[in-house]
Structure 1
Amino acid sequence: MPKIIGRSLTEHREQVRNRVFQALRNQLYERGFDAITLAGVAAEAELGRTAMYNHFPDKESLLVAFVEEEANRYVRRLDEAVAAVDDPVDKLATFVRLQLTVVAEYHLPPGSTLASALAPDTYRRVAAHADPITNQLREILLDGMRAGRLPPEDPDVLIPMITSALASRHIVEVPPDQLEHAIATAVRFVLRAVGAKEKPGKTGI
């Protein structure tokens, strides 16, 4: 009988997944998805191949589970950060800052993109995790418009423009001591682009 990690079967499963995801994360950013094998991930996670297949029957299911876990963690992080501020323009600044911080933290894996690595139905399932992030941005923009802090514009036009701008790695591919400055510059750019207005009694956004 396989050794149980942790104090219960539930804790065992969680710890196994964490170890597998960490191993996958390392290998994704070192070699790319195409070069990864379940056996290789299992070896780095110090997990038997049979146990690995019990959790993830194939490489695609492993990648989907990993992306879902990463997306859910980020959505929670984003919700907490945005909820910590009241002003809608400050919320937008927080959104932009966190998006770029995450881009800087997670290097894109070499090799195939998700779109080419996964079957169409599976990719749509993974891509659906972007919906909470898009909805968060939509609510921030609408709140800003209702509060008179942003000019009335179609959010369906603004959202892809903002997300496209923030998807560029060039913004954060700078020396570590310049990262904060680069992100602050990008925040100011987005606020100007959407026409954010100064707070009453303030001399700057």
Structure 2
Amino acid sequence: MPKVIGGSLATHREQVRERVFGALREQLYGRGFESVTLSGVAAAAGVGRSAMYNHFPDRQALLVAFVEAEAARYVADLDAALAGARSPAERLAIFARIQLRRLAEFHLPPGQALAGALDPQAYRRIAAHADPIGDRLTAILTDGALDGSLSGDDPAVLAGLVSAALSSRKIVEVPAAELDETVETAVRAVLRMVAPSTVPLG
């Protein structure tokens, strides 16, 4: 019987998951999803292959579980950061900055590439984790529209535009020494994108 880590079965399972997710994170960020194998992650995590398969029957199940855990942690971190902001514009700047930093770190294939790598059910489960993040962005834009500090245009439309801008890997694919300045440039551009209009259009 394998040794139980942490003194209880529940603690053992959680610690095994953390070790596996840590190993997977390094492989995803370093090489991308296509290079990931269960045996390779198990070896890097110091977990037996049988234990690995007991937790995750295949690499898609592993990726979905990892994204679910990462998304929960990310949303908690995002909420904590937003809680200290004094205005919708400040909250939007924080949101954009965190999103871009996350994009710079996270090396899963984007959009259709990820859809092609996973079966439809697994992809839908992963895509569902974008909803809480999008809800927070829409709420920021709605608050800004209500107090006049941001554009009064439809917040749902603006949220789609901002999300698209913040999901472009070209923004963050720069030398590490240039990343801080690049992120701040992008944050300023997002704020201008949703600034209140002072000139009538059309």
Shared topology, TM-score over 0.5? yes
| 1: CA distance, partners of 2:11 / 2:104 | 31
Under a length normalisation based on structure 1, what TM-score does the superposition of the two structures give?
0.88
What is the rounded CA distance, in whole Å, between the counterparts of 1:178 and 1:96 in structure 2?
17
Q: 1:109 offset after TM fit, Å?
A: 5.4
CA shift in 2, pair 1:114/1:102, >3 Å: same
Long gaps (5+) in structure 2: 198-202
Change (3 A) 1:107 1:63: closer
List per-residue Cα deviations over 1:72-103 (Å, max 9, x = no partner): 11111111111111211100111111111111
Q: What letter is aligned with 1:13?
A: R
Structural mapping, 1:12-161, within 5 Å:
12-108=12-108, 113-161=113-161
Aligned residues: 196
Change (3 A) 1:4 1:180: same
* Corresponding residue SS for 1:174: coil
Shift of 1:165: 0.8
Would the alpha carbon gap of residues 135 and 163 (structure 1) be closer, same or farther in structure 2, given more than 3 Å must change? same
3-state SS of the aligned residue for 2:2? coil
Residue 200 of structure 2: aligned partner = none
Secondary structure of the residue aligned to 1:113 is helix
Structure 1 unmatched runs, 5+: 198-205
What is the one-letter code of the residue matched to 2:191?
A: L
Per-residue CA shift, 1:162-187, capped at 9, x if unaligned? 11111112222223332221111111
Indicate if the aligned counterparts of 1:31 and 1:109 stay in contact, CA closer than 8 A.
no
> In 1, Cα distance between the equivalents of 2:20 and 2:142?
40
Q: TM-score, normalised by structure 2?
A: 0.89
Q: What is the CA-CA distance between 1:151 and the residue it aligns to?
A: 2.6
Superposed CA RMSD in Å reads 1.9
